[in-house]
Amino acid sequence: MATRNIVKEGDSVLAKKCRPVERYDEKLALLLDDMIETLKQAGGVGLAAPQVGILRRIFIMDINDEIIEAINPEIIKRSGKVRDVEGCLSVPNRWGYVTRPKSVVLRAYDRNGNLYERKFTDLGARCACHESDHLEGQLFTALVDEWAEPERE
């Protein structure tokens, strides 16, 4: 496992639509392992493949100390609305208010190519939506209705 460099806002890779994963192979497993290492080291909640420069439909989340891997993900149900502060590892030190669903149902494949459906609420729902947006080339900054005060050192 190795950590990968996190691409920052302004890099055109973050504005591109990602292509589906076609092969559930060793290369995919290696990428996922590296993404997990990178996310843990950065102390984030979620990480999408384009954030490490890979234009494929993959993201991971670290919710309540559980790693969720989502390959070719789709949000098939959204309910409720919550407005809360959100940030992104590609947009350091900027936090803003974004309205997201209170809960979502995520349909995705795991690294072995098995399809699953799972419901997420609150942070998990927010993160699943945020990471799904990355796969469409969209950053949360486009959805912010009010910026939060930056944290002071």
Catalytic residue positions, numbered? 131
Least distance (Å) between residue 75 CB and Zn ion: 16
With respect to Zn ion, which residue has the nearer C-beta, 16 or 117? 16
Q: What count of other Cβ atoms lies within 10 Å of the Cβ of residue 112? A: 10
- Binding segment for Zn ion among 15-23, 75-83, 88-96, 108-116 (CB under 5 A)? 88-96
Q: What angle do CA 40, 81, 79 make, to 5 degrees?
A: 90
- Binding segment for Zn ion among 35-43, 68-76, 81-89, 105-113 (CB under 5 A)? 81-89
Instruction: Please name the helix (run of DSSP H) or strand (run of DSSP E) that holds residue 31, with its range, or none.
Output: helix 26-42
Least distance (Å) between residue 22 CB and Zn ion: 24
The answer to the question of residue 6 lying near Zn ion (CB under 5 A) is no
The correct pick among 88, 108, 125, 135 for binding Zn ion (CB under 5 A) is: 88
Amino acid at 80: G
With respect to Zn ion, which residue has the nearer C-beta, 24 or 95? 95
Site string for Zn ion, 89-128 (x = CB under 5 A): ----------------------------------------
Reference 72, options 110, 99, 39; nearest CA is 110
Least distance (Å) between residue 130 CB and Zn ion: 5
Backbone dihedral region for residue 53 (phi beyond 0: left; psi -120 to 50: alpha; all else: beta) = left
Q: Write the CB contacts of 35 (distance below 8 Å, at least 6 apart in sequence).
A: 4, 47, 49, 52, 58, 60
Least distance (Å) between residue 88 CB and Zn ion: 3
Q: Phi and psi (nearest 5°) for 134?
A: -55, -35
Q: List residues binding Zn ion (CB under 5 A).
A: 88
